[in-house]
């Protein structure tokens, strides 16, 4: 059964649009609706049933802040295993042009840290003007509101199917692609990866690809038609290591691990370029991407690892359709070279991450 968690509804002056969208999307489905406060309380008291499908439906107040939303985020942060076995998706409806993406990806991150898995493209967000549905409406030949409703209905179907697949047990990863743009002499993040790699089962095939030293040229912003043309051939305008090594590796891989040291509260420039250049292959292999998982190793010198992890969610899960397994990111804090080795409990966390990557 699908659980629909209504967050912030009592704090909004008008929820009629979101109500109509949910009515359309849930037609014919068996579900139960609970408010955000009740769900947060169940998380806090470990009273949730075993894994199910959950749709978080967020109604944003005009100021972009919901007390009920904050209560849920707090509960998820304090009960790190409350959503083990669950599969989720997020629907955010806002009265203005701000906050919908921010709230959506933060909620995905926090629920994922609490054990919830997400299918590819698990977020539907609607700004006040619905301008963000212009393209979908044009492709469907419908109004922006109808495009919104269709996107929400697709989200429900996808989440239910993903939850059913999850309940049958995940597929083990036998081919893992690891991407980095770091120096082995100084990188704590690469040291963390080495800890994890040593813990992987012997039958996991690992391909590491370095994107350092000008190996990646960022996306030039080709037209949709040009990008699709190159993508259909498994290529990209700029070629190079992305086409020669990264594209074939991702096609053959079961999982992608991104090595993401925190650069000014962001992923590195080369990892950003990888996100952008992946679009050409995405246009051709959209469906197959949904069968691949993404993981991230994030090491910050000071703080902000959650911000970097959310960028990976935004790019790879919400945009490029990769599935997000439970606790997809290992986030650590280490500054001086090799100081990751002194982080209390890091070896145990690395072993747990290796198990998640291998799917065992």
Whether 103 has a pLDDT exceeding 50, the answer reads yes
| 148 and 279 in a common domain | no
The verdict on 154 and 266 lying in the same domain is no
Of 115, 134, 167, the residue that ends a domain is 167
Pick the range with the lowest mean pLDDT from 44-53, 68-77, 158-167, 172-181: 44-53
Q: Which of 237, 175, 244, 238 is nearest to 210 (CA)?
A: 244
The answer to whether the CB of 44 falls within 8 A of the CB of 75 is yes
Q: How confident is the model at residue 167 (pLDDT cuts 50, 70, 90)?
A: confident
Query: Do 13 and 151 reside in the same domain of the chain?
Result: yes
pLDDT band (50, 70, 90) for residue 287: confident
What are the DSSP E strand ranges found in 220-328?
255-261, 293-300
pLDDT band at 285; cut points 50, 70, 90: confident
Q: How many CB atoms lie within 10 A of CB 288?
A: 13
Same domain, 224 and 137: no
What pLDDT score was predicted for residue 229? 43
* Domain co-membership, 163 together with 192: no
Distance CA(70)–CA(175), nearest Å, equals 39
Mean pLDDT of 321-342: 96
Confidence at residue 219, expressed as pLDDT on a 0 to 100 scale: 46
Q: Please state, in angstroms and rounded to a whole number, the distance separating the CA atoms of residues 5 and 2.
A: 10
Binned at pLDDT 50, 70 and 90, residue 1 comes out as confident
- Per DSSP, what are the bridge partners of residue 207? 177
In whole angstroms, how large is the CA radius of gyration of the chain?
20
**300-330 pLDDT, tens digit each:** 999 999 999 999 999 999 999 999 999 999 9
**Is 154 in the same domain as 274?**
no
pLDDT tens for residues 209-230? Answer: 999 765 565 545 544 454 454 5
Residue 132 pLDDT > 70: yes
Question: How confident is the model over 246-284, as pLDDT tens digits?
Answer: 999 999 999 999 999 999 999 999 999 999 999 888 888
The percent of residues in the chain predicted with pLDDT above 70, rounded, is 92
The confidence score (pLDDT) of residue 232 equals 47
- Cα gap 36→207, rounded to integer Å: 42
Q: What is the mean pLDDT of the chain?
A: 91
Least confident stretch, 112-121, 166-175, 269-278, 293-302? 166-175
How far is C-alpha 309 from the chain's CA centre?
A: 9
The confidence score (pLDDT) of residue 184 equals 80
Q: Report the CATH number at residue 116.
A: 3.40.50.360
Residue 338's domain comprises 175-358
Last residue of a domain, one of 144, 167, 190: 167
> Within this chain, do residues 35 and 128 fall inside the same structural domain, yes or no?
yes
Looking at the structure, tell me whether residues 67 and 162 fall in a common domain. Answer: yes
Q: What is the model's pLDDT at position 170?
A: 72
Angle between helices 269-289 and 224-232 (to 10 degrees): 70
Whether the pLDDT of residue 239 is over 80: the answer is no
Cβ atoms of 211 and 271 closer than 8 Å: yes
Beta strands in 94-163 (DSSP E): 123-126
Of 282, 21, 290, 259, the residue nearest 130 (C-alpha): 21
As a whole number, mean pLDDT of residues 172-197 equals: 93
The answer to whether residues 12 and 55 belong to one domain is yes
Residue range 57-84, pLDDT digits in tens: 999 999 999 999 999 999 999 998 999 9
- Per-residue confidence (pLDDT) for residue 224, from 0 to 100: 46
Q: Tens digit of pLDDT for each residue in 18-56?
A: 999 999 999 999 999 999 999 999 999 988 887 799 999
| Closest to 110 in 3D by CA, of 62, 39, 171 | 39
Distance of alpha carbon 346 from alpha carbon 189, whole angstroms: 12
**Number of domains within the chain:** 2
Q: Note whether 352 and 215 are same-domain residues.
A: yes
Report the alpha-carbon distance of residue 88 to residue 70 in Å, rounded.
18
Give the residue from 167, 201, 232 where a domain finishes: 167
Q: Quick one: 86 and 191 in the same domain?
A: no
Query: Mean of the pLDDT values across residues 120-126?
Result: 98
pTM: 0.93
C-alpha triplet 183, 195, 291: angle, nearest 5°: 90
User: Taking residues 143-161, what's their average pLDDT?
Assistant: 98
Same domain, 203 and 309: yes
Give me the pLDDT at residue 288, please: 87
């Amino acid at each position: 059964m699908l659980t629909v968690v209504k967050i912030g509804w009592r704090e909004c002056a008008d929820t009629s649009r979101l109500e109509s969208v949910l009515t359309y999307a849930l037609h014919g489905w068996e579900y139960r609706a609970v408010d955000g406060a009740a769900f947060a309380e169940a998380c806090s008291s470990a009273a949730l049933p075993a894994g199910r499908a959950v749709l978080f439906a967020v109604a944003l107040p005009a100021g972009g802040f919901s007390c009920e939303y904050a209560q849920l985020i707090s509960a998820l942060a304090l009960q790190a295993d409350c959503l083990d076995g669950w599969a989720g998706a997020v629907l955010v409806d806002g009265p203005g042009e701000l906050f919908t993406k921010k709230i959506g990806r933060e909620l995905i991150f926090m629920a994922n840290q609490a054990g919830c898995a997400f299918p590819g493209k698990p977020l539907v967000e609607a700004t006040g003007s619905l301008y963000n549905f212009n393209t979908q409406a044009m492709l469907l030949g419908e109004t922006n509101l109808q495009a919104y409703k269709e996107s929400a209905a697709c989200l429900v179907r996808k989440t239910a199917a993903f939850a059913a697949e999850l309940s049958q047990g995940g597929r083990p990863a036998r081919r893992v692609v690891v991407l980095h743009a770091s120096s082995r002499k100084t990188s704590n993040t690469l040291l963390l990866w080495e800890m994890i790699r040593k813990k992987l089962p012997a039958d996991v095939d690992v391909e590491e690809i370095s994107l350092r030293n000008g190996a990646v040229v960022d996306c030039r912003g080709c037209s949709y038609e040009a990008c699709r043309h190159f993508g259909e051939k498994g290529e990209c305008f700029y070629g190079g290591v992305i086409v020669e090594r990264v594209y074939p590796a991702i096609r053959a891989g079961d999982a992608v691990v991104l090595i993401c040291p925190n650069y000014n509260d962001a992923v590195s420039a080369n990892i950003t370029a990888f996100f952008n250049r992946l679009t050409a292959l995405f246009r051709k292999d959209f469906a197959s991407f949904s069968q691949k998982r993404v993981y991230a190793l994030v090491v910050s010198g000071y703080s902000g690892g959650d911000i970097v992890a959310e960028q990976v969610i935004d790019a790879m899960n919400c945009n490029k359709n990769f599935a997000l397994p439970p606790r997809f990111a290992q986030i650590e804090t280490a500054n001086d070279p090799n100081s990751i080795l002194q982080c209390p409990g890091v070896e145990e966390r690395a072993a747990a991450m290796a198990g998640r990557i291998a799917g065992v």
